[in-house]
Structure 1
Amino acid sequence: MRVLIAPDSFGSTLGPVQAATAMGEGWTRGAPHDDVELLPLSSGGPGFLDVLGRALGGTTVMTTVSDPLGREVPAAVLLVERDGRTTAYIEASQATGLHLLGADERDPGLTSTWGVGRLLETALDEGAATIVLGVGGGATNDAGAGLLAALGAGPASALARGGLALADAPDDALLGLPAVLDRLAGVDLVVATDEETPLLGLQGTSAVEAPRKGASASQAQALENALGRFTDVLRRSLPEPPLDLLSGTPRRLERELGAGAAGGLGYALLALGGRRVGAVETVLRECGFGVAAARADLVVTGAGRVDWSTLRGSVVSGVAAATLETARPTVLVAGECLVGRRETMTLGLAGTYAVADTPSEVEAMVADPVGTLASRTARVARTWSPAR
């Protein structure tokens, strides 16, 4: 049997490539008579660059950027040449990821997206005509103000001190924004994210995402007010308001789907003329998933934690939907599964298998993520492809 193994990352313990390698090893152990192909995937967060670099090749440019608290961390930009034009791929979580902070350092009121701006600067310096930013998760909640400061739109003292400081942003905090827009005028800026959160409101990033990053209820409300102030400053600083192509009326960027992605990083990128695309759809296309799935007899995907949010905008849901078009079955190996079989079946999954179902199994998974994932995948292989 021909088996395609196409997982996402398993939380912060295993990246997509590591997870695919462990699952491939396990499947080969359980069904040595099968042909196994590995195709790690990403939803725009950690692993985005590794996945695309593995699939597309290209040149990796190493650099150093600031983490959410301003400390230097290594990062990279992937450059791919196409028809004489350079496309740059950026993984925002290299500069904003929660994995860069200790549990006691998580404070979305103080963290900044300055480092993502430096990555964007690197891509521009390399002459990129198209820049694709994988935007997922992260530890920030500053509406991309830090990124704008890094590009020269305004002073770091006003914009790069975290989301709460934006409550005091002066009216002229973004005087340099028109010059930044001129510099990006010839660049196709692509925001690859499956997050649909708007920037403001009861379903906005401060209300929904900030508490997951360490914010208290009162801090989340303060962040909402601060980001509201920042949108007023940005709206007045735009040389021309962006217009809706259908109605011709001004667009309210803070209300658009994806504006709240990564703590509002999506909002700043939309204000710079970016266009939003689905990260999973983009990765599936760039990695040639459809062709790989069509030549397989079975597709095996994976993720660290499967819950209600996994039912849309995730690698698991994207793989299941794309594989249905090839009339191949898809099974899921997950670290933990917090939804029932009925929910996973609605995605088109033929089977769902958890690495850990009990507290002791969770402890074992945390202690040995590679070994436990490989062992569980080996058992799944013996179920789906028994020895002849």
Structure 2
Amino acid sequence: MRVLLAPDTFGTTLAATQVAAAMAEGWAEGAPHDEVRQLPLSDGGPGFLDVIERAVGGTTVATTVSDPLGREVPAAVLLHDEGERRTAWVEAAQATGLHLLAADERDPRVTSTWGVGQLLATALAEGATRIVVGVGGGATNDAGAGMLAALGAGPATALARGGLALGDVPEDALADLAEVLDRFAGVELVLATDDTTPLLGLAGTSAVESPRKGAAPEHAQALEGALGRFTDLLVRALPRPPIDLLTGAPRRLDREPGAGAAGGLGLALLALGARCTGAVAEALHVTGFEVAAAGSDLVVTATDRLDWTSLRGSVVSGVAEAGTAAARPVVCVAGEVLVGRRETMTTGLAGCYAVADHPSEVEGMLADPVGTLRTRTARVARTWSPGR
């Protein structure tokens, strides 16, 4: 049997490439006669560059950027030339990732996207004519203000102090935004995200996402107000307000798909002219998933936690949908399975298997993620492989 392993990361524990390798070892143990291919995937968060580089090759440009609290961290931009077009792939989490902060450092009131601006500046300096930015897994809630400051739109003292400081940002804080827009003229900018969280409101990024980044409920309310003020300032600072091509009316950037992604980083990218696309769909396309699935008898995906959020806009749901379209059964191996059979079947999954079947087993899984994942995958292989 031909088996395609197409996993996501296991949270911050294992990168997608490590998950695929562990699963391949497990499958070889459970069904050594099967032909196994590894195709790790990403939702635009940590590990995005590794997945893309594995698929397209290219050249890695190493650099140093600021983390969410302004400390220097290593990062990279991946360049890939195709004819006269040079694409730069950027992983925002290298500068804004939650994994860069200790638990007691997580506070979206003060974290900044400055480092993402540095990554974009590197891509421009390398002559990129197309820049794809994956924005998952971030620790910030500053609507991309820090990124704009790093690109030269305004002073860091006003824009790079975190989301809460945007509540009293000066009226002229984005005085040089037009010059930044000129730098991106002729560049195709792509916002790669499956995050559909709105920018503002009761279901907005401050209300829903900031608590996961360390904000208390009262902090989330304050961040909501600060982002509202900055959004108004940003829209008024645009020299050429975006126009809806169908109605001819001005577009509300804060209501555009992707605006609330990564604590509003999507808003700033949209203001720079980015178009929004699904990060999982982009990864499936770049890695050639459709062809790989068509040449396989079974597709196996994986994630650390299969819950309600996994049922849409995730690697698991993307693989399930694409696998079903290719008329191939798709099963999932997850660290924990927190939804029922009926829910997983609606996504197109033919089966779900937990590494930790009981809460008491979670600690052991975290202590040995590779070993427990390998063991569980071997059991799945013996279940699904028909034998020689």
Provide TM-score, normalisation by structure 2.
0.99
Equivalent position of 1:91 in the other structure: 91
Give CA-to-partner distance per residue, 1:4-36, whole Å, 9 cap, x none.
000000000001000000001100110000000
Give CA-to-partner distance per residue, 1:77-130, whole Å, 9 cap, x none.
000001122100000000111100011000000000000000000000000000
Equivalent-residue separation in structure 2 for 1:317 and 1:147 (angstroms): 31
Q: Is the 8 A contact 1:7 1:303 kept in 2?
A: yes
Q: Would you say 1:170 and 2:175 are equivalent positions?
A: no
Structure 2 unmatched runs, 5+: none
Q: Is the 8 A contact 1:201 1:207 kept in 2?
A: yes
Equivalent-residue separation in structure 2 for 1:111 and 1:363 (angstroms): 30
Identity of aligned residues (%): 74
1:386 to partner: Cα distance: 4.7
Amino acid in structure 2 at the alignment position of 1:332: C
1:325 to partner: Cα distance: 1.4
Equivalent position of 1:368 in the other structure: 368
Equivalent-residue separation in structure 1 for 2:263 and 2:232 (angstroms): 17
Equivalent-residue separation in structure 1 for 2:183 and 2:214 (angstroms): 36
Equivalent position of 2:321 in the other structure: 321
Equivalent-residue separation in structure 2 for 1:359 and 1:329 (angstroms): 28
Q: Would you say 1:346 and 2:341 are equivalent positions?
A: no
Amino acid in structure 2 at the alignment position of 1:115: G
Equivalent position of 1:189 in the other structure: 189
Amino acid in structure 2 at the alignment position of 1:92: A
1:232 to partner: Cα distance: 1.6
Equivalent position of 2:225 in the other structure: 225
Amino acid in structure 1 at the alignment position of 2:66: S
Q: Is the 8 A contact 1:141 1:264 kept in 2?
A: yes
Equivalent-residue separation in structure 1 for 2:267 and 2:67 (angstroms): 20
Equivalent position of 1:137 in the other structure: 137
- Aligned-partner SS, 1:239: coil
Equivalent position of 1:158 in the other structure: 158
Q: Would you say 1:62 and 2:62 are equivalent positions?
A: yes
Amino acid in structure 1 at the alignment position of 2:241: P
Moved more, 236-245 or 122-131: 236-245
Give CA-to-partner distance per residue, 1:184-209, whole Å, 9 cap, x none.
01100000000011211111100110
Q: Is the 8 A contact 1:93 1:137 kept in 2?
A: yes
Work out the number of aligned pairs and report it.
388
Equivalent-residue separation in structure 2 for 1:208 and 1:359 (angstroms): 26
- Aligned-partner SS, 1:266: helix
Matches within 5 A, 1:1-388: 1-388=1-388
1:137 to partner: Cα distance: 2.6
Equivalent-residue separation in structure 1 for 2:198 and 2:177 (angstroms): 22
- Aligned-partner SS, 1:24: helix
1:358 to partner: Cα distance: 1.8
Provide TM-score, normalisation by structure 1.
0.99
1:359 to partner: Cα distance: 2.8
Amino acid in structure 1 at the alignment position of 2:222: A
- Aligned-partner SS, 2:112: coil
Equivalent-residue separation in structure 2 for 1:329 and 1:233 (angstroms): 50
Q: Is the 8 A contact 1:108 1:214 kept in 2?
A: yes
Equivalent-residue separation in structure 1 for 2:313 and 2:359 (angstroms): 28
Equivalent-residue separation in structure 2 for 1:219 and 1:256 (angstroms): 25
- Aligned-partner SS, 1:167: helix
Give CA-to-partner distance per residue, 1:294-332, whole Å, 9 cap, x none.
000000000011111111110101001101111111110
Equivalent-residue separation in structure 1 for 2:350 and 2:242 (angstroms): 45
1:45 to partner: Cα distance: 0.4
- Aligned-partner SS, 1:180: helix
Amino acid in structure 1 at the alignment position of 2:97: G
Q: Is the 8 A contact 1:137 1:261 kept in 2?
A: no
Amino acid in structure 1 at the alignment position of 2:256: E
Equivalent-residue separation in structure 2 for 1:358 and 1:320 (angstroms): 25
- Aligned-partner SS, 2:88: strand
1:362 to partner: Cα distance: 0.4
Give CA-to-partner distance per residue, 1:318-352, whole Å, 9 cap, x none.
00110111111111000111100100011111110
Equivalent-residue separation in structure 1 for 2:258 and 2:358 (angstroms): 35
Give CA-to-partner distance per residue, 1:261-306, whole Å, 9 cap, x none.
0000000000000000010001000000000000000000000111
Equivalent-residue separation in structure 1 for 2:233 and 2:107 (angstroms): 24
Equivalent-residue separation in structure 2 for 1:28 and 1:76 (angstroms): 34
Equivalent-residue separation in structure 2 for 1:223 and 1:165 (angstroms): 9
Amino acid in structure 2 at the alignment position of 1:270: L
- Aligned-partner SS, 2:23: helix
1:357 to partner: Cα distance: 2.1
Q: Is the 8 A contact 1:108 1:163 kept in 2?
A: yes
Equivalent-residue separation in structure 2 for 1:326 and 1:164 (angstroms): 47
Q: Is the 8 A contact 1:113 1:160 kept in 2?
A: yes
Equivalent-residue separation in structure 2 for 1:249 and 1:93 (angstroms): 34
Cα RMSD, aligned residues only: 0.7
Amino acid in structure 2 at the alignment position of 1:114: W
Equivalent-residue separation in structure 2 for 1:386 and 1:322 (angstroms): 24
